[in-house]
Amino acid sequence: MSTPKTETAWIAQLLRRAGFGYTPQELKYYKSLGYEGTLHELLNPRLVDNSQLEKAIREHSFDFTNSNDLRRWWLYRMTFTRRPLEEKMTLFLHGHFATSDRKVRNPHAMYLQNLLFRKYALGDFHQLLLNVSKDPAMIVWLDNQQNRKGKPNENYAREVMELFTVGIGNYSENDIKEAAKAFTGWQTRPEGFYFNKNQHDSTEKTFFGMKGNFNGEDIISILVKQPATGRFLARKLITFYAHENPDKSFVERVACEYSQSKYSLSAMLKSIFSDKSFCSDRTYHAKIKSPAELIVGSLKILQIESLDNDLPQMMGAMGQDLFHPPSVKGWDGGNAWISSETMMERFNFAARIVSTRFDELTRKSSPTQLIERHNLKNALELVNYFSDLLVDGDLPRSSRDKLVEYASSDLDGKKISMIEDERTLDAKLRGLVHLIMTLPTYQLT
Give the up-direction half-sphere exposure of residue 141: CA atoms within 13 A in the CB hemisphere: 28
Q: What are the residue ranges spanned by the domains of the chain?
A: 125-217, 227-274, 291-443
Q: What is the pTM of this model?
A: 0.97
- Is-contact 8 35, C-beta < 8 A? no
Going from the C-alpha of 359 to that of each of 299, 304, 410, the distances in angstroms are 13, 9, 21
Q: Which amino acid is at 146?
A: Q
Q: What confidence score (pLDDT) does residue 364 get?
A: 63
Strand positions, DSSP E, 288-399:
none
Q: What is the distance between the terminal CA atoms of the chain, rounded to a whole angstrom? A: 20
Give the pLDDT confidence of 302-317 residue by residue, as tens digits.
999 999 999 999 999 9
Strand ranges inside 192-317, DSSP E: 192-195, 205-207, 210-212
User: Who's near 282: CB < 8 A, 6+ residues apart?
Assistant: 243
What is the Cα–Cα distance from 291 to 254, expressed in whole angstroms? 27
- Per-residue pLDDT, 370: 87
Alpha-carbon torsion 312, 343, 393, 420, what sign?
Answer: negative
Quick count: other Cβ atoms within 10 Å of Cβ 20?
26
Three-class SS of residue 191? Answer: coil
Per-residue pLDDT reduced to its tens digit, 4-43: 689 999 999 999 999 999 999 999 999 999 999 999 999 9
Give the largest Cα separation in the chain, rounded. Answer: 84
Contacting residues for 115 by C-beta, under 8 A, at least 6 apart? none
DSSP three-state, residue 129 = helix
Low-confidence ranges of the chain (pLDDT < 50): 1
pLDDT at 1: 38
Q: Residues 180, 152: contact at Cβ < 8 Å?
A: yes
SS3 content of the chain, % helix, strand, coil (to 5): 60, 5, 35
Task: Show the CA angle centred on residue 157, arms to residues 337 and 326, nearest 5°.
Answer: 20
Give the Cβ contact number of residue 75 at 10 Å.
19
Alpha carbon distances (Å) from 442 to 23, 72, 285, 396: 16, 24, 9, 12
